[in-house]
Amino acid sequence: MANANLLRAARIRCPVPSIAAAFFQRPRVSQYHGGQTPTQEYRCGIDAEPLYRYRPGGYHPVTVGDSLSDGRYKILHKLGWGSYSTTWAAKDQLHDRYVALKITVAEPKRSDEMEILEKLADTPRNHPGSCYVNQMLDQLTVIGPNGSHDCLVLELVGPNVSDVIGSYCRDDRLPSRAARSISKQVLQGLDYLASKGIGHGDLHTRNIALEIPGLHSLSERDFIARLGEPEMGLVIRQDGKPLSSKVPTHIVRPSSFRDKDVQSLLASPSTKIIDFGEAFFNLDAPNTLHTPLPMYGVQDVL
C-alpha cells in the first residue's frame, strides 16, 4: 500500500499492479507519428526512422564516424529512434568513456526534459534509487542543415526490457526472478524521482533499460563487436536525383545484442529508467499523458 500511495502522490500513472504485469508480458506499443505521412521522396532498405522526417525542423542527419563538439564525441553506432529524436552510441574522447547521444528534432516541442535532467544532474545522488535513473552527463547544441538541435549526452545503457522480452524470453515473459528484481529497482527509481518532485510521464518497458557491465573498459573494436557491426543501407531519391544535405547518405539499423550477453544480464539485472521526453514537475503536471494504454492505472482508464 505504501508503494501505491507513493505512485499516486508522484502522479505517475502506472501503479504497482500495472508495472508488475508489464514486466511479465511484452506490451504491444506502436510508434506514434503526428500528422499524415507525405509522399515518400526517398527510399532505403533499412527499416528505421521515417526518411520524410529529414527536413527543416526534423531529424539531424548523422553518419557512423561523425564527430560532434569539436571532435569530442565520435559516433560509433545507432541505439534507436523515436518521433522526436535519434539516439547514438558514441565515444567521449575527452573522458575515455562510451555515452549515448540523444539528438532531438529541430522543430519546437514543449518538453521539460532538459530542465528535469539538469536538476537531476545537479543534485547529490545519495538516494538509494538514484542509481536506477539514467543521468545526463553533458548537453550541447548541434547546428545542421535542418536547424538547431538539442543534444543530450546520457549514460549509456543496454537493451530495453520490451526488446529483451520479445527477442530473448520464452513465451514473451521475463524469468520471475528477473521480473521481481527489475520491478524493485524501478520502484526505487520512481521513489527517487518523487523525492525530487518529478513524474516520468511515460513509464513502460521500452523506457526501462538493462545496464551492461564492463563496457567502458572495451576498445572501440570490441565495443562495436558487442553491439554488432553497424548495418547500413544506402538512401536513394525516388527520382534518381542527388541527395539533399538534409538527408543522411545511409540509414543505420539500431544495434542488437548477442543472446548470451542478454541471458547474462537477466541473471543479475541492473536497470535504468530512461527517456524523459514526457517527464514533468509534479507542480505543473499535464492533463494527459502519452503512456501506452496497457500501462495506465484503472483510475485513469475510467
65: left (phi over 0), alpha (psi -120 to 50) or beta: left
Q: Is 102 annotated as a binding residue?
A: yes
Given 92, 112, 202, 275, which residue is catalytic? 202
Instruction: Check if 92 is active-site.
Output: no
C-alpha distances out from residue 62 to 94, 102, 150, Å: 21, 11, 14
Residue linked to cell 508480458: 25
Three-state SS across 1-36?
CHHHHHHHHHCCCCCHHHHHHHHHCCCCCCCCCCCC
Give the three-state DSSP class for 202: coil
d(CA 218, CA 202): 32
- Enzyme catalytic residues: 202
> Which residue numbers belong to the known binding site for ATP?
102
> Which residue numbers belong to the known binding site?
102
